[in-house]
Amino acid sequence: MKFYDCSTAPSPRRVRIFIAEKGLDIPTVQVDLRKGEHLTEPFRSLNPWCTVPVLELDDGTAISEAVAVCRYLEDARPEPPLMGVDARDRAVVAMWEHRFEIDGFLAVTEAFRNQVRGLAGRALTGPGNVEQIPELVTRGRGRVERFFTVLDEQLAHHPFVAGERYTIADITAQVAVDFAGWIKMSLPPGHRHAVDWYRRVSKRPSAAA
Amino acid sequence: MKFYDCSTAPSPRRVRIFIAEKGLDIPTVQVDLRKGEHLTEPFRSLNPWCTVPVLELDDGTAISEAVAVCRYLEDARPEPPLMGVDARDRAVVAMWEHRFEIDGFLAVTEAFRNQVRGLAGRALTGPGNVEQIPELVTRGRGRVERFFTVLDEQLAHHPFVAGERYTIADITAQVAVDFAGWIKMSLPPGHRHAVDWYRRVSKRPSAAA
């Protein structure tokens, strides 16, 4: 296996934390997003969507999309389980992971990519250029506020996002919270359940990934 | 189990097709989205995100998000497998499903919800109101065009979206193509691989779901 990463980017960090929690050691290639390495060959042939993370399997298959890479790693190294332990749990984890990817991670992405000058014409990831839409900065920030609130409400009743155990749903939420720092947003101190959870997950050794 | 559906809506149709392919028979409750039933009690307590599909398990757990509902059903009824047959295949299926949800299904959603008068103030699903952004109609349509192209390129090399077998990735793409009809977009005839695939998947009995 070979892991295509960009050590400064939030999206592959979801997989870096997953790998750290699994205790895996996978040869890693850094893709320089600032230099546009993801938009040119040979990376573009590996992943036509021009995104990291990518996991290249030994047979040459390239898996992109963070959740799909994690799905592979969960099968390859089942312990500790990060995607659920039985049918009900797997569905609950998938629900929260998916919801917080959209409401958290992609909401921050929306605000960030439509705002930053250096990403003019690059409002969406992918091989094609997409112009920024300034209204999406405001919309994205509003969505992040709601994400913080829902996160706090859920953690008022459970120690972790999807229940009793640390899972991929925590990873997605945690990376989204850290990514929100890029648009100068952070968990409001009044969201004490989320703040407490964030302290706990940030103390895990995997958070350094 | 109880399935919360809206028979006219594309999002729960992803699960309806999945259920049909599995040969399952699940008691179904229709939620009237036009009357706003999803935004009021008791549905809102069942799913605070106010979306269908939802699968309510016998212990009362409510699973929302189409992919999470399908995850549960795949465990409950493994045959025929619709989410992959081994570690590599599961990852490939998850990758295509996720990519076509974002690039296909959510791209159509973006164009549709930002355009239609009846959805003014409802540009995003969820309990809160979000204003339409007209530029997203154009952007969404451009994204759908690219989805059609990528779909065609992938089907030039494989009989189904994720390879040799019909999977959840086909369902997501198929529902996205049908949903695109709502914004008067259809597969260009020149995309003959995608057009041929679309004919094949539309002939399956599950397509009527």
Question: Any chain B CB within 8 A of the CB of A156?
Answer: no
A5 bridge partner residues:
A30
> Chain B, 27-46: which have a CB under 8 Å from a chain A CB?
none
Residue that is last in its domain, among B76, B107, B141 = B76
CB B6 within 8 A of CB B32: yes
A172, A14 contact by CB (below 8 A): yes
What confidence score (pLDDT) does residue A57 get? Answer: 98
Domain with B198 in it: what CATH number? 1.20.1050.10
Given this model, what pLDDT does residue B82 score? 98
Domain-located, residue B134: yes
Give the distance from residue B194's alpha carbon to the nearest chain A alpha carbon, in angstroms.
Answer: 18
* Closest CB to A146 among B61, B128, B135: B128
The count of domains in chain B is 2
What pLDDT, on a 0 to 100 scale, did the predictor assign at position B162?
Answer: 98
Residue A65 forms part of a structural domain: yes
Residues A96 and A29 in one domain: no
Q: pTM of the entire structure?
A: 0.98
Q: Please report whether residue B127 resides in a domain.
A: yes
- Both B65 and B11 in one domain: the answer is yes
Say whether both A32 and A9 belong to one domain: yes
Between CA B145 and CA B190 the distance in angstroms is 13
Q: Do B97 and B67 share a structural domain?
A: no
| Domain presence at residue B72 | yes
Cβ contact B65–A94 (<8 Å): yes
Last-in-domain residue among A18, A45, A76: A76
Q: Which residues pair with A54 in a beta bridge?
A: A4, A64
**Strand spans (E) along B6-47:** 28-30
The boundaries of the domain holding residue B63 are 2-76
pLDDT < 70 regions, chain B: none
* Residue A82 lies inside a defined structural domain of this protein: no
User: Would an 8 Å CB–CB cutoff place B72 in contact with chain A?
Assistant: yes
Does A81 reside within a domain?
A: no
Predicted-complex ipTM score: 0.97
pLDDT confidence of residue A142 = 97
pLDDT averaged per 10 residues in sequence order, chain A, 209 residues: 97 98 98 95 96 98 98 98 98 98 98 96 94 97 98 98 98 98 98 98 98
Residue A175 and residue A91 share a domain: yes
Specify the pLDDT at position A2. Answer: 98
| Amino acid A203: pLDDT | 98
Query: Residue B53: what pLDDT?
Result: 98
Asked if A99's CB is within 8 angstroms of B64's CB, the reply is yes
CA distances from A80 to A19, A156, B151 (A): 11, 25, 36
Average pLDDT score, chain B: 97
In terms of DSSP H, where are the helices of chain A? 10-22, 43-46, 66-76, 87-100, 106-113, 135-155, 168-180, 192-203
Q: Are residues A97 and A125 in the same domain?
A: yes
Task: Give the pLDDT confidence of B44-62 residue by residue, as tens digits.
Answer: 999 999 999 999 999 999 9
pLDDT given for residue B131 in this prediction = 96
Nearest residue, CB atoms, A87 vs list B72, B87, B139: B72
3-state SS assignment for residue B35: coil
Last residue of a domain, one of A76, A101, A125: A76
Q: Do B92 and B183 fall into the same domain?
A: yes
Q: DSSP labels for B76-101?
A: H--SS-SS-SSHHHHHHHHHHHHHHI
Point out the residue among A48, A59, A68 whose CB comes nearest to the CB of B98: A68
CA of B88: which chain A residue's CA is closest? A72
Which CATH number covers residue B52? 3.40.30.10
User: Is residue B135 located within the same domain as residue B193?
Assistant: yes
- Residue A176 has what pLDDT? 98
Q: Is B112 exposed, middle or buried (0-12, 13-18, 19+ CB in 10 A)?
A: buried
Say if CB B114 and CB B143 are below 8 A apart.
no
CB contact under 8 A, A136 and B139: no
Q: Cα separation of A159 and B80, whole Å?
A: 36
CB-CB under 8 Å, B92 with A61 = yes
